[in-house]
Amino acid sequence: MGFLTRQRPTVGVDVGSAFVRVVALRRTRDGWSLVAAGEAPRNAPEDPADINAANVRATVHRLLDDLKLRRVSVAVAVPAGAAIVRRLSVPTDSLSDLARHVDFEAEQHLPFVPEEACVSYQVLDRRRRTANRSTDPTTLDVLLGAARRSEVAERASLVVGRGRRVGVADVEGIALANAFTLNYPDQCDSAWLVHVGHRSTVVSVIERGELTATRGVGLGAADDTNLKDLVAAIRQIAAVGNPERLFLSGGAWQAEGLSSRLGAEFGAPAEPFDPRRRIRTSAASRGADLVGPPFALAVGLALRGRRDA
């Protein structure tokens, strides 16, 4: 790529149970800038398993058209409950053949046959190695994400077409962590990210600047959800210890009583996750005012290439 080449925006598409949200970012020498953002209701049926793929696909493409994001590569999310995430240490002498080495290690952890798997990974920040668990100079820490090919293909089918393709399928919890570490580099010592939707919740645990655990919870903050049950399910993800801070995001982050219940349970303040805290905006940024806590996952998806090997 030439120095004067204008990079295409990176686009994250979050297909939630109630809304589709899109964020387009562009990386510059000064950091990340917002190109466009938008949302549209998904008109999902009462039963979240009853997905009318054609209607969802039409909503996605209409929103991308409205934002003038036509011939782009898109990152989509694989639900946390459909993926596995593992932290691996691989020999540094395998850097020239890292992808093959990660595939080999992934086979040891997959709950299904390798032929059915889609595997992705990102190298954890080398600058943080001395502050974290891996202090061995002969190894490199890699975060592995894997899901069944059928699950990835289902998500990709909602986006492809009309000149658009899927460049990355990322795990929800990893995308959230990427959005957080970019926007809160000074507050990463001990934080839990709680992304609450209407039908499901994703929790990512950040320690010393890196993702250490992520899980999906089959409960959201819909009107019929008992928040006590949701908080109990979140507690089970990390039964020992409490975070220094909690950050709330997702379409249902403002559910009545949720913030106070989480704060009381974990003894830490629960505050809104601002996913554009360190992302530049300008008069040309479309939809900048929309980008609040519900857009955290879409921002993380758009950032997908930031820390890859």
Residue 272 banded pLDDT, cuts 50, 70, 90: very high
Q: What span, in angstroms and rounded, lies between the C-alpha atoms of 153 and 150?
A: 5
Phi, psi of 16 (to 5 degrees): -90, 180
pLDDT of residue 210: 83
Three-class DSSP labels, the chain: CCCCCCCCCEEEEEECCCEEEEEEEEEECCEEEEEEEEEEECCCCCCCCCCCHHHHHHHHHHHHHHCCCCCCEEEEEECHHHEEEEEEEEEHHHHHHHHHHHHHHHHCCCCCCHHHEEEEEEECCHHHHHHCCCCCCCEEEEEEEEEEHHHHHHHHHCCCECCEEEEEEEEHHHHHHHHHHHHCCCCCCEEEEEEECCCCEEEEEEECCEEEEEEEECCCCCCCCCHHHHHHHHHHHCCCCCCCEEEEECCCCCCCCHHHHHHHHHCCCEEECCCCCCCECCCCCECHHHCCHHHHHHHHHHCCCCCCC
Domains of the chain plus CATH, in order, are: 10-80+151-302 (3.30.420.40), 82-149 (3.30.1490.300)
- Beta bridge partners of residue 52, listed in sequence order: none
Residue 81 banded pLDDT, cuts 50, 70, 90: confident
pLDDT of residue 276: 96
Average pLDDT score over residue span 137-144: 78
pLDDT in tens, 196-215: 998 899 999 998 888 888 89
pLDDT in tens, 35-68: 999 999 986 555 445 557 888 999 999 999 999 9
- In percent, the amount of the chain with pLDDT more than 70 equals 85
The amino acid occupying position 257 is G
pLDDT in tens, 107-132: 777 777 777 888 877 777 554 444 44
Q: What span, in angstroms and rounded, lies between the C-alpha atoms of 259 and 271?
A: 8
